[in-house]
Amino acid sequence: MQIPEIGPKTALFLDFDGTLVEIAETPTRVVVPPDLPVLLSKLRDLLGGAVAIVSGRPLLDTDRLLAPFSGASSGEHGAAIRHIDGTLDEVRSEVAVPEEWKKALAEETGQLSGVILELKPHGVTLHYRLAPDRQDDVWRIARSLVSDDHPWFRLIPARMAVEIGVKATTKGRAVENLMAAPPFAGRVPIFIGDDFADEAGMAAARRLGGQGLRVGEVFGGEPAAVRAWLQDGVERLTRPVMA
């Protein structure tokens, strides 16, 4: 697939884990390259602010990891969306995985060594990267709480993890919501992601006249290649126009 170029009318929607940074053994062990926040800040300025992080992590988590970069962002697969002016569009705080579920999940995963339970404001993620042989157990536990037709929650398969998330929200919702307002409106969206949950974001970007790029297909599965492409975009946008 031809890799598109970042142009002055581009809007970027970037997943975090597996896209901007290499996936770590556990979410807390992720390593952010020291020049990444500066790179994102430059792109944000060159694109009039139209750079958004669209992650499954909570908003504050990517904020902290990418500081001092700040900008538009969506956390928990569209459950929380923050516009560039700081306006927050978040599903109601009552729409969150019940405390009893969290307790039950903590007890059950506590029996499975290597399985990590990540609690988020609206959802929870069960990570089995350190215990791949526990995949079936983890899915059984998750399915015991969330059936396919559950009215409020859904299971989101991820790389070596399964997440219980709010049903009404997706990364596609985040893209559509942000694209409806400045500085994104009228731009051509490019969504980059590496995982199942990114498909909705890619589909939304395509519906809005842009592109959805899979890291595995377009960037050889390498976040370093995504970062190089972003750096290339910075150079392209700052190059003086030849008369």
Which of the following is catalytic: 15, 194, 195, 198? 15
| CA-based nearest residue to 184, from 37, 47, 88 | 47
Using CB positions, name the residue nearest to Mg ion: 18
Q: Does 15 participate in catalysis according to the annotation?
A: yes
61 scored as a contact of Mg ion (CB under 5 A): no
- At its nearest, how many Å lie between Mg ion and the CB of residue 181? 25
Tokens read off for 10: 């581009």
Nearer to Mg ion, 169 or 183 (CB): 169
CA 187 to chain CA centroid, nearest Å:
20
Nearer to Mg ion, 76 or 195 (CB): 195
Contact track, Mg ion, 168-207, x by CB under 5 A: --------------------------xx------------
163 scored as a contact of Mg ion (CB under 5 A): no
Task: Determine the Cα–Cα distance for residues 106 and 84; give it in Å rounded to an integer.
Answer: 36
Contact track, Mg ion, 3-42, x by CB under 5 A: ------------x-xx------------------------
What is the residue whose two structure tokens read 């700052």? Answer: 238
CB-based contacts of 46: which residues, under 8 Å, 6+ apart?
A: 8, 233, 234, 237, 238
Query: Could you tell me if 66 and 40 are in contact, meaning their C-beta atoms sit under 8 angstroms apart?
Result: yes
Query: Could you tell me if 169 and 78 are in contact, meaning their C-beta atoms sit under 8 angstroms apart?
Result: yes
Active site residues: 15
